[in-house]
Each structure stands twice: as C-alpha cells, then as structure tokens.
C-alpha cells in the first residue's frame, strides 16, 4: 500500500469524493455485518443479489456491476481495512489535482471496467470451455476501482515518489503500477483467474479514462456538450430566419444579405467588422 505526501506518515485530506467513497463502503460493510448477525440466511440472499456473478447478470441482475464493489466480507476486517486505506491514499492524492467529480467518475469507470472484463472472460469460457475460466468466483469489493486509480496515477503522475508500506523504500508511481500489473498478470495462471483478469480490466479502464476524459470530469463534458448542441440549434434557427427575411425583402423590392452566422451584412457601411 503506497504512502505519499510531505511526510511519509502523513494522510491525505479526508474530504470530497474520498470521504464519500469511503463512508459509503463503510456503511455497506457495517450494514452487511449487522445483517449477518441478525439473519445469516438473509445475509446470504442479500450478498448473492449484490455481488457480481456474470451468470446472474446475464439472467437479469443488471444492477450487479454497480453494487458488487460495496459488498465486503464482514469476516475479513483486515481486507476491508487495506481496501479502504488504499482507496483513501489514492483517491486523496488524485483530488489534489482533480475535482471530486473526476475522481468519482474514475472510480466508477474502473469498477465497471472490472465487471466488463469478468463478463468477457466468462463469455469466452462458454465457447472455449470452463478450463479457461478456472474456478468461478463472484466479484466483491472495490479492488477494481483501486487498481484503476493506481493505473491513472501511474499514467498521469508517474514520477511521484511513493513509500512501500511497511518498508521504508521509495518507488515511482509508474513502476509501482507496473509491478502491480505484472503480479496480477502472473495470477492469471493460478486459481484466481477471473479475479486477476477483472483487476486488469479495471486498470485498463482507469488508464483509458485518465487518457480520454476531460480534466473537469464527465459531468462537465456532458454539460458542455448539451450547451454546445443547444447553441448550434439556436444558430441554425437564426440562419433559417435570415433566409426567410431575405426572401421577404426581395418580394418587397429590396435586397438584404446575411452572412453564414445569420448576421446582417451592411454593404453601405465602411465598418464591416462591427457585426463580427
């Protein structure tokens, strides 16, 4: 688990997307913990409904690619601790350079990329045989989002020095991401094939998002696209109205002209730029 900051013992700010992601994961963890204590059978049913199983997804459980990342094993306190500490470090680091929406979208895209990779492996295994898939294990936890964040940091801030906990050894972010990817790739040849392939999918999704997404986040891009479309529509209406007005004025014995933006061209004026 990496550390960073002005001091090797410093923690990033607990705010914005970092705080929301960690609190949602914690709330889901304790909710499942209480449910397991109150009703073990109900706990099993809820977990099976929320984790990501490609077979169940193809049979109609379409919410699972979004919900599985909030399913954590209540019996593994160390597992949830390591996951959330890693999420805190990586998300907090990214929020120092990007806004909360960008970080949230990166996490979400990485989680979906993880699920998509698992689905792709499952689909291929149907054609080529179950030996390719290995032991099918439903996906749980936010490891895909974490790996996507680490991949994005390695791409965008590869020269940042991280500390390898608990060893006092510094390593650049790009090399840390590469090592994690190689270790995960090596796991493809073991029993946890689906989990390893899914993590690689989450890392690839994080890389693509960091490379292609606007710096201000997907919501900013969507809003800008909407306003751009709206402005193009208004410009088209103005040009259409200008053409109709030209036809009307010709019928009245006068010639008027408009430019390509629907602005009147005053041919008698020396100041041609006043309409620009």
* Nearest CA-CA partner of 233 in 241, 222, 221: 241
Q: What is the pLDDT of residues 203-255, one digit of tens each?
A: 999 999 998 876 555 555 566 566 677 777 777 777 877 777 777 777 777 77
Q: Under DSSP, is residue 172 helix (H, G, I), strand (E, B) or coil?
A: strand
* Nearest CA-CA partner of 65 in 198, 220, 262: 198
Q: Under DSSP, is residue 254 helix (H, G, I), strand (E, B) or coil?
A: coil
State the burial class of residue 188 (Cβ atoms within 10 Å of its Cβ: 0-12, 13-18, 19+). Answer: middle
Comparing 220 with 22, the larger pLDDT belongs to 22
Long-range contacts for 160-165 (Cβ within 8 Å, ≥24 apart)?
160/4, 160/93, 161/4, 162/2, 162/3, 162/4, 163/2, 163/3, 163/4, 163/8, 164/2, 165/1, 165/2, 165/3
User: Which secondary structure element, helix H or strand E, spans residue 170, and what is its range?
Assistant: strand 169-172
Q: What domains lie within the chain, and their CATH numbers?
A: 2-216 (1.20.1540.10), 221-275 (no CATH)
Comparing 129 with 28, the larger pLDDT belongs to 28
The predicted model scores a pTM of 0.73
- Cα separation values, 169 from 11, 147, 156, 172, 243, Å: 17, 21, 22, 10, 71
Q: What is the pLDDT of residues 165-211, one digit of tens each?
A: 666 677 888 998 999 999 998 888 877 788 889 999 999 999 999 98
Mean pLDDT, the chain, whole residue set:
82
Tokens of 52: 């990501």
Whole-number Å distance between alpha carbons of 146 and 89: 10
Task: Give the least confident one: 23-32, 65-74, 134-143.
Answer: 134-143
pLDDT level of residue 38 (50, 70, 90 thresholds) = very high
């Amino acid at each position: 688990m990496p550390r960073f900051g002005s001091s090797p013992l410093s923690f990033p700010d607990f705010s914005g997307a970092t705080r929301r992601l960690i609190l949602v994961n914690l709330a889901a963890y304790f909710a499942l913990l209480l449910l397991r204590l109150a009703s073990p059978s109900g706990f099993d049913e809820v977990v099976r409904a929320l984790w990501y199983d490609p077979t169940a997804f193809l049979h109609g459980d379409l919410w699972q690619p979004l919900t599985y990342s909030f399913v954590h094993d209540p019996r593994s306190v160390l597992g949830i601790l390591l996951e959330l500490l890693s999420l805190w470090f990586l998300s907090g680091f990214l929020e120092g350079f990007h806004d909360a929406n960008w970080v949230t979208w990166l996490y979400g895209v990485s989680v979906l990329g993880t699920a998509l990779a698992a689905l792709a492996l499952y689909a291929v295994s149907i054609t080529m045989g179950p030996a390719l898939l290995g032991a099918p294990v439903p996906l749980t936890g936010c490891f895909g989002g974490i790996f996507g964040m680490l991949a994005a940091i390695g791409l965008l801030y590869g020269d940042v020095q991280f500390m390898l906990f608990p060893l006092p050894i510094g390593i650049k972010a790009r090399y840390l991401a590469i090592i994690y990817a190689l270790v995960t790739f090596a796991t493809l040849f073991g029993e946890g094939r689906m989990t390893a392939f899914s993590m690689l999918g989450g890392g690839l999704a994080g890389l693509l998002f960091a490379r292609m997404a606007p710096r201000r986040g997907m919501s900013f891009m969507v809003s800008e696209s909407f306003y751009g479309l709206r402005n193009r529509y208004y410009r088209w209406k103005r040009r259409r109205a200008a053409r109709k007005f030209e036809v009307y004025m010709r019928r009245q014995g006068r010639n008027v002209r408009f430019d390509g933006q629907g602005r009147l061209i005053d041919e008698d004026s020396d100041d041609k730029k006043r309409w620009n």
